[in-house]
Structure 1
Amino acid sequence: MKKIIVKMKLMSKKFVGVLFLLIGFALQAQTPEKAKALLDKVSAKVKTYKNIQIDFKYNLQNAKENINQDSKGNVTLSGNQYILNFMGVSKMCDGAKIYTISKEDEEVSIASVGKGEEDNDTPEKMLTFFNKGFKYSWDIAQNVKGKKIQYIKLIPISSKDDRKQILVGVDTKTNTVYNTITIGKNGTRVTLTVNSFKTNVALPKNHFTFVKAKYPNYYINNLD
């Protein structure tokens, strides 16, 4: 059971990036080609923001393994710099180095950008992950807490992808993403719901700078 939970936590890192679809959709066309064109517009618009701050709720379910796990997280992103707080671990990237900070272990792992196995799962790269590798279609519409949510379905093309499908729920009134639902081939279901979404926030000049003095008793693990 422990190994399964750890594996699911690693998988969840891919799903966090879906949060960065949180920009408006014009919900007129319903063909796969036009759905893809809308996602291309989403990608382009995201890049116009100086920075993005998101607070989100995370739920992982796997009925077969009797797992129902809730967590909360937040991320601040500016270009290729970010700070992600999720599942008790903070991850900071200053554009050159990635600092993974574990309070439980009192350890900071440092690696150069581009050398880690998880680099493809960083928030900065996840902003445009949906540009290729998926088939697109429009799914059902639902009323959730007075909101009309229209779902767009993404199906991975590669048979090696561990995700069966991703559903992106769009609030049609505000033209923003309300939630995402990622269904794995192993029966895992991960739901990410946005609690707040802010852009162009005033950030301190050195917001993405790692300060070693803040972690005096931590073990510093240089992975390069």
Structure 2
Amino acid sequence: MKKTINTMKKFIQITFILLISFATQAQDKKAKSLLDQVTAKVKSYNNIVIDFKYSLNNSKENINQDSKGNVTLKGNQYVLNFMGMTKIFDGKKTYTIVPEDEEVNISSVNEKDDNAVTPSKMLTFFNSGYKYSMDILQNVRGRKIQYIKLIPTNTKDQRKEILLGIDVQTKHIYNLIETGKKGTKTTLTVNSFKTNQPLSKNQFTFVANKYPNYYINKLD
């Protein structure tokens, strides 16, 4: 009798584990499907213009900072305005313009490097290097925001987890909440998401004569 009971207990345990496993796999498939839809939507646009808010918080270190910025994206090219600086990537080189120092830093960037975090990857960074699962669904001012939890697969990564908020209707990213292993939390919230905007032919071109008194620092 005891043997039968023990066998039943083991069977129930195995069944329970399998059910959890199947449920997790189903959740992962849902998360993957939603991420794929976001990627497809991003790639369907000729260009994207985003206004965003960036928050950095760490209660232990008494850090609480807020900044605003905007970025224009087209393919792997971008113009980023953030924290008083402008960063231009023309597809080959990055130009960081610092008005406060009257300086321009020019460097080559390997955009194919998976470890290089760049604005052009901001909307599709999640396609590799993460485990993902469905998280909470929230109503934000009438918008349904589905969160997906991303866990870095690299154990040396200083980020504990990332919550990616996706607008269920538009498939646009609403916000990104990144929690570090040391308690630092950064939040990027998209305030405005515009697509297929009329852009200047020189939108992603660094024009040196606009900065006549600036020191041009070629880093490589």
Q: Normalising TM by the smaller chain, what interval? A: 0.7 to 0.9
C-alpha displacement at 1:48, in angstroms? 2.0
C-alpha displacement at 1:147, in angstroms? 3.1
C-alpha displacement at 1:149, in angstroms? 2.4
Counting matched residue pairs gives 195
C-alpha displacement at 1:137, in angstroms? 1.0
Determine the structure 2 residue equivalent to 1:202.
198
Question: Deviations 1:5-59 (Å, cap 9, x if unpaired)?
Answer: xxxxxxxxxxxxxxxxxxxxxxxx9611231233123223312211110000111
Percent of residue pairs identical: 67
The secondary structure found in structure 2 opposite 1:65 is coil
Determine the structure 1 residue equivalent to 2:180.
184
Contact 1:94 1:208 in 2 (8 A): yes
CA 1:80–1:171: 2 relative to 1, 3 Å: closer
1:49-64 map, 5 Å:
49-64=45-60
Determine the structure 2 residue equivalent to 1:164.
160
Give the distance between the partners of 1:119 and 1:107, measured in 2 at CA: 26
RMSD of the TM alignment (CA)? 2.2
Instruction: Give 5+ residue unaligned stretches, structure 2.
Output: 1-24
Question: Deviations 1:37-83 (Å, cap 9, x if unpaired)?
Answer: 33123223312211110000111100000011000010001112110
The secondary structure found in structure 2 opposite 1:114 is coil
Instruction: Give 5+ residue unaligned stretches, structure 1.
Output: 1-28
Q: Does 1:66 align with 2:62?
A: yes
1:77 aligns with one of 43, 53, 73: 73
The secondary structure found in structure 2 opposite 1:46 is helix
**Which of structures 1 and 2 has the larger relative contact order (alpha carbons within 8 angstroms, sep 6+)?**
1
Matching residue's letter, 1:223: L
C-alpha displacement at 1:204, in angstroms? 0.9
Q: Does 1:98 align with 2:94?
A: yes
- Scaled by the length of structure 2, the TM-score of the pair is 0.81
